[in-house]
Amino acid sequence: MKLPTIETGEVNLTPPELGVHTWCLEAAWKCRGAGLTPGAAVAAIRNTEGQLRAGRKFAFQEVERAVTRAYDAKPVVARKSKAKTVAKFQDRVATNAVEMEDLRTMSPWPRPELITAEMAVDLLFPDDGALLCMAKETRKAYTATRDHWLKKEHLHSLLVPNLATSMTGKTQDGHLSKRCNQQFPDRTYAVVEFDDGASLAEQAGRALYLGKILPLTLVCHSGNKSLHCWFLAAGEDEDNVLSFYDVAISLGADRVGRTRCQLMRTPGAWRVFPGGFEETESTLTFSAEGIRQKVHYFNWANAWTSTH
């Protein structure tokens, strides 16, 4: 979901639907680069609170800590993007749009729309001892063993696409957390979500294009207006994965996937159960049939195994 932009001086700050904590630090760096004082940066970021998703508020000192980190740190030189050469291919990718029905036909796994959340988690993480982080709501995420989530996958619409190494970890501020990057030192999958308003057909075409860089494993619907595209990243050097995201972002992908502990949509799970309500910033919508994060493409050959 694309949220409104808040203009503060010469700084445009747009909070994301998910990944707000990480975004706070990015926003603080943006404010610093624009020459705002630390106090002005705190005010600018806090002014966006009304634009956060329903129920999300800035935690105590969350913004202040992000600004302190950004303003106390030494200036960094931005890593050169390896995605610049991709710009000339954008038109070609746009013309290679693939309708959803055709994408399902292309799926090596027959009738992928029948894959349930339980099946998807088993197929993506075929290890009974795997530590997985799941959530019904972002703020309620926690990490547990695979058997803990068994038969409950459909209830948890959010999932970190990487295997955890511990139940808890420490944030960069030193706080104990049930979901932080320290728990996910390595990538299992790189998940890309396109949030630029492109049609589903165009998003599918981009996913197939990106599959030339990393193996495309799965494509599922977010339950809203975008596709979540899963690519096998196990064993890949982190710099290579970030370069992959550079390419994806140049094609309209959201930046949040770069964060290893980022929650993404659980394939096959229910975003809204039949007869339930979906709450947005200003509306409460009833859904008689429910909204499921349906799988449209799955390639078992590109799924993670313990040998990767």
Give how far Cα 22 sits from Cα of 30, 147, 255, Å: 13, 30, 11
For residue range 86-137, list pLDDT tens digits in order: 455 555 565 578 899 999 999 999 999 999 999 999 999 998 889 999 999 8
Report residue 26's pLDDT band, with 50, 70 and 90 as the boundaries: confident
For residue range 69-85, list pLDDT tens digits in order: 888 764 444 344 444 43
Judge whether 268 and 119 are in contact, CB under 8 Å. Answer: yes
Q: Considering the chain, what is the average pLDDT of its residues?
A: 83
Say if residue 64's pLDDT is above 50.
Answer: yes
Tell the residue number behind the tokens 């996910």, with chain if given. Answer: 184
pLDDT above 70 covers a percentage of the chain that reads 82
What would the two tokens of residue 259 be? 């964060």
Tell the residue number behind the tokens 């803990």, with chain if given. Answer: 148
Mean pLDDT, residues 133-150: 93
pLDDT at position 274 = 58
Tell the residue number behind the tokens 């429910």, with chain if given. Answer: 290
Tell the residue number behind the tokens 């994060």, with chain if given. Answer: 293
Say if residue 6's pLDDT is above 90.
Answer: no
Report residue 18's pLDDT band, with 50, 70 and 90 as the boundaries: confident
Round to whole Å and give the CA distance between 185 and 233. Answer: 13
pLDDT at position 279 = 53
Q: Where are the domains of the chain?
A: 6-72, 84-302
Mean pLDDT, residues 57-67: 87
Question: What letters, b where the CB count within 10 A reaches 16 and e where it falls short, cover 104-126?
Answer: beebebeebbebebbbbbbbbbe
What would the two tokens of residue 70 be? 């950004």
What would the two tokens of residue 33 be? 């680069």
Q: What is the 3-state secondary structure (H, E, C) of the chain?
A: CCCCCEEECCEEECCCCCCHHHHHHHHHHHHHHCCCCHHHHHHHHHCCHHHCCCCCCCCCCHHHHHHHHHHHCCCCCCCCCCCHHHHHHHHHHHHCCCCHHHHHHHCCCCCHHHCCHHHHHHHHCCCCCCEEEEECCHHHCEEEEHHHHCCCHHHCCEECCCCECCCCEECCCCCEECCCHHHCCCCCEEEEEECCCCCHHHHHHHHHHHCCCCCEEEEEECCCCCEEEEEECCCCCHHHHHHHHHHHHHCCECHHHHCCCCCEECCCCEEECCCEEEECCCCEEEECCCEECCEEEECHHHCCCCCC
What would the two tokens of residue 38 be? 């630390």
pLDDT at position 81 = 42
pLDDT at position 114 = 94
Mean pLDDT, residues 46-51: 88
β-partners of residue 231 are 190, 216
